[in-house]
Amino acid sequence: MPRSVDDLLPEKQSARLRIYAYSIADDAHAGLLKIGQTTQDVKKRVAQQLKTAAIENFEIVLDEPADRPDGTVFRDFDVRERLKQKRFANTTLEWMRCAVEDVRLAIAELRANKAYEGTPTLDFPMRAEQQAAVDKTQGYYESIWAEDEDAVPEFLWNAKMRFGKTFTTYQLAKKLGAKRVLVVTFKPAVEDAWDTDLRTHVDFDGWQYLSRKTGGDPASVDPDRPLVYFGSFQDLLGTDKAGNFKAKHKWLTDVMWDLVVFDEYHFGAWRDTAKELFEGEDDAVRKKEQAIEFTAAEETFAEELEERGSDEDSFVPIKARAYLYLSGTPFKVLNEGRFIEEQIFNWTYTDEQRAKAEFTTKHPLDPNPYASLPEMRLLTYQMPDELIAIASQGEFDEFDLNAFFEAKGVGAEASFVHKDDVQKWLDIIRGGYLPTQVDAMKAGTRPPFPYSDSRLLPYMQHSLWMLPRTASCAAMANLLAEPQNAFWHDYRVVNVSAPGVGVGLDALPPVREAIGGGHDTKTITLTVGKLTTGVTVPQWSSILMLRNLQAPETYFQAAFRVQSPWTIRNPNGDDPNEETILKPVCFVFDFAPTRALRQISEYGRGLSPENPNPERAVEELVSFLPVLAYDGSNMTQVDAAGILDIAMSGTSATLLARKWESAVLVNVDNLTLKKIMSSDAAMKAVMNIEGFRALGSSIFETVVNKSESVSKTKKEKGDDITPAEKKELTAEEKEYKSNRKQIQEKLIKFATRIPAFMYLTDFRENTLYDVITKIEPELFQAVTGLTVEDFNLLVSLGVFNAGHMNQAVFAFRRYEDASLKYTGIESHGGLRHYGLYDTVVAVEH
């Protein structure tokens, strides 16, 4: 009898075996876990088991798939047997006396068909962006080594917190087959992550870890197993009284490190000496007789290095095969133009929030790995004129937070210089200042002040206030405690900048003690700089910027403290994969609007290389980081154009000229010079730039050869270099640096001609791409001396930094638009013969 079509095409059955574990909260089951398996929904299966006994005080603590990568599965009795081998007892058939982490380890071993050393229990793959970072970095390293096997490539990961930099770095090292990895940081507090990620993930089972904290003899490590050594610049910094590197670090100089990692690189990236010393290129290391003694300063380690000038020029010289730089806010690094696009992997706040939105659309039934990362909101407030009048600065009378919150005295005697005005500010942010209330009544709207709006108050339960000085923190604590400020007495104030409070992670315990679980408490943490990098306080949901932070690094490192996830896993005790998100959004409050929007503009423009048009880059950022501005009467959302207008409001012709005279617009490192030398067309193009014929084409080869020769000699000689050799190398070093400087100056001089061309052309240029494509070829060559094709070639080789030129082009266009509108002209019509061309020609020639 023939079968039906339905019989021939049956529906595919899907069932996945899962291992589960649950506990029962009573004396009889204390310390025990029931381990079972099912192809049903785990909650339903557990409910079936416990329903007849009417047991309700249970908690499902584990729910894991039981399949291996090869398609085979393991069973619940395999898990119990593995636990028995580890000497865990089973009281009855399916009950084991063990912890949930012990079960996870057994499952990880069964899944990988191997036994692990230590306690690695985590077994998760890289996310898509982490895999992309590894692939791009490995590809770049290998492309450089293919050209020169002795080259030492550098790569930058511009990845914000929660990217998983430590885990992904170890995956890169594993992919490279690295046996010796050196991790160096400016923030020793991050060691915990490097140690934990190595010990707890099964991918790094058998790896060795050493640091100052762990101790251990480097000579005793197994040469066949990967070694990770973690050190801080504070520890590696300095020499002994005889001018020699610390003896305990001598072994570091004898190792060829497969990968050297600089973590939290934004704290020292702009110090050229750090790089030079690690390459053994700077002999100024012995000019100081003693090592630097780092104090427990309130400011960040980066600021301390800046204040000390070049005193930090004493590092252990390290030999490396490759360098990896990690930073969540590498603004100064990017501005230096040291890394070109192919040397950078970006994972910014915008990337993260975009991935969060896309994952839900593409995988609606799967847990979103980005769901717990809150979206940020920036709220800026224009202060009343009476407050601005006492603390303003600059051409546009920006509100000077440092001056406004200036204080004198210490401890209980500390007081604000403008105490009455600070009191008014406290009244304003809780909606209790009468003039502001009158303005709101006239406007017919009530602006959302942080401590008065019912929508904001839940996010103010635990906040971070960043003030300019330790005296300001003490004065604020004293003022909040005064009788007239009864509203604030509900909040426990923790001043982590007070004398006696620890440094780094040691400042965290009093904050955590005050917050507790976070549900029944209210806190305000006062700080100058402590706890604004490298720490996680999940309950912090808002930060008040009460000091002038000019550097975007510091601003966003502090702001991202409040973006840490706050979740409850397994809230109902019946699904260990369920997660309740307690903080879907977080807030940054700023009271110097122009400066705040300038930071947003810098962040959006600097960290979105795929959007060369700055307005589009900022537009994408604010789609995930909405900006609301209070102008004294109304609170309105500010779009990208508005942000750029405000941020660039201080642009003048002088500042614009400086943009086009900046060294960041050109790249003259050895890699770029080699690209020029290897291309006849590029060399010919460069020789057409004014001044290069006088230098001669051989200058490129001279710079590259001499710099590499000096570096190689210093590495080989090390401490054995003689005074005569040292003198000779110093002379050669001065020569190639002088020649490199001349190349840079000629390229910058060419760059200054581009705005002259832009002014004369009829097109409206937003980006460098526009300059190259929407072009008048004859005019471009007449003004700059290069053909469009030659210029495009040099840009493609990285001779001219496209990212920074994009910013300069856009700034010129905004300034030019403002100038034209001021004169009532809306286009270039009739401008061709105005006097700028004659001025430029006269200056240039």
Report, in angstroms and rounded to the nearest whole number, the Rg of the chain calculated over CA atoms: 31
Per the listing, tokens 């380690």 go with: 301
Q: Which of 81, 112, 143 is the last residue of a domain?
A: 112
User: Does any domain span residue 382?
Assistant: yes
Segment 584-625, tens digit of pLDDT: 899 999 998 888 887 877 777 665 555 556 667 677 777 788
Give the residue, 20 or 339, on which the prediction is more confident. Answer: 20
Tokens of 161: 């917190």
| pLDDT, position 42 | 92
Same domain, 495 and 539: yes
User: Does any domain span residue 328?
Assistant: yes
Same domain, 523 and 637: yes
Decide: 238 and 246 in contact? Cβ < 8 Å: yes
Same domain, 663 and 642: no
Residue 568 bridge partners (DSSP): 580
User: How much is the pTM?
Assistant: 0.65
CATH number for position 500: 3.40.50
User: What gap in Å lies between CA 707 and CA 233, rounded to an integer?
Assistant: 26
Listed ranges 197-206, 422-431, 662-671, 756-765; the one with the highest mean pLDDT: 422-431
Residue 264 Rama label (left phi>0; alpha psi -120 to 50; beta)? left
Q: Is the pLDDT of residue 652 over 90?
A: no
User: Does any domain span residue 78?
Assistant: yes
Full DSSP string of 53-79: TT---EEEEEEEE-B-TTS-B--HHHH
User: What gap in Å lies between CA 791 and CA 784, rounded to an integer?
Assistant: 10
Task: Please tell me what DSSP assigns to residue 453.
Answer: -
For strand 585-590 and strand 375-381, is the pairing parallel, antiparallel, or unpaired?
Answer: parallel
Per the listing, tokens 């010129």 go with: 812
Same domain, 306 and 387: no
Same domain, 210 and 264: yes
Please, where are the H alpha helices in 52-190? Answer: 76-85, 100-112, 128-147, 165-176
Same domain, 132 and 89: no
* Phi/psi at 525 (5° precision): -100, 125
Q: Determine the average pLDDT of the residues in 750-756.
A: 73
Tokens of 582: 């307690």
Which of 593, 624, 633, 619 has its CA nearest to residue 379?
A: 593
Angstrom distances, CA of residue 612 to CA of 608, 765, 770, 810: 7, 12, 10, 9
Orientation of helix 552-559 relative to helix 593-606, angle to 10°: 90
HSE, CB side, 13 Å, CA atoms: give it for residue 577: 14
| pLDDT, position 232 | 80
Q: Find the domain containing 145 and state its range.
A: 128-347
**pLDDT-based confidence at residue 794 (cuts at 50, 70, 90):** confident
Decide: 174 and 204 in contact? Cβ < 8 Å: yes
User: Does any domain span residue 137?
Assistant: yes
Segment 549-572, tens digit of pLDDT: 877 777 888 898 999 888 877 776
Q: Is the pLDDT of residue 143 over 90?
A: yes
Tokens of 271: 């110090």
Same domain, 203 and 312: yes
Residue 587 bridge partners (DSSP): 377, 542
Q: Which of 627, 649, 671 is the last residue of a domain?
A: 649
Same domain, 277 and 170: yes
Tokens of 485: 């400020």
Q: What is the mean pLDDT of the chain?
A: 77
Q: How many domains does the chain have?
A: 4
Contacts for 383 with CB less than 8 Å, ≥ 6 apart: 399, 425, 428, 591
Which of 557, 579, 578 has its CA nearest to residue 567?
A: 579
| pLDDT, position 266 | 63
User: What gap in Å lies between CA 332 and CA 316, rounded to an integer?
Assistant: 24
User: Does any domain span residue 7?
Assistant: no
Give me the sheet containing 227-232, strands edge to edge: 208-211, 227-232, 180-185, 259-263, 323-327, 154-159, 344-347
User: Does any domain span residue 326?
Assistant: yes
Segment 698-734, tens digit of pLDDT: 888 888 888 888 878 777 776 677 777 777 777 888 8
User: What gap in Å lies between CA 463 and CA 459, rounded to an integer?
Assistant: 8
Angstrom distances, CA of residue 268 to CA of 284, 420, 505, 568, 804: 18, 40, 20, 37, 21
Same domain, 222 and 281: yes
Same domain, 189 and 296: yes
Same domain, 133 and 56: no
User: Does any domain span residue 201?
Assistant: yes
H-run or E-run covering 379? strand 375-381
What number of other Cβ atoms are within 10 A of residue 552's Cβ? 23
Q: Which of 77, 112, 147 is the last residue of a domain?
A: 112
Direct distance between the N- and C-terminal alpha carbons of the chain, in angstroms, rounded to an integer: 99
Tokens of 303: 């600021």
Cα-Cα-Cα-Cα dihedral sign, residues 274, 277, 279, 282: positive
Q: Is the pLDDT of residue 524 over 90?
A: yes
User: What gap in Å lies between CA 265 and CA 630, rounded to an integer?
Assistant: 35
User: What gap in Å lies between CA 676 and CA 682, rounded to an integer?
Assistant: 5
**pLDDT-based confidence at residue 821 (cuts at 50, 70, 90):** very low
Indicate the range of 6-20, 434-448, 747-761 predicted with least confidence.
434-448
Indicate the range of 195-209, 490-504, 601-615 predicted with least confidence.
601-615
H-run or E-run covering 20? strand 18-24
* Phi/psi at 532 (5° precision): -100, 0
Q: Is the pLDDT of residue 834 over 50?
A: no
Contacts for 51 with CB less than 8 Å, ≥ 6 apart: none
Same domain, 294 and 398: no
Contacts for 609 with CB less than 8 Å, ≥ 6 apart: 341, 344, 346, 803
Full DSSP string of 471-502: HHHHHHHHHHTSGGGGGGGGSEEEETTSTTPP
Q: Is the pLDDT of residue 768 over 80?
A: no
User: Does any domain span residue 485?
Assistant: yes
* Phi/psi at 423 (5° precision): -60, -40
Residue 279 bridge partners (DSSP): none
Q: What percent of the chain has pLDDT over 90?
A: 27
Segment 432-445, tens digit of pLDDT: 876 655 555 555 56
Contacts for 730 with CB less than 8 Å, ≥ 6 apart: 283
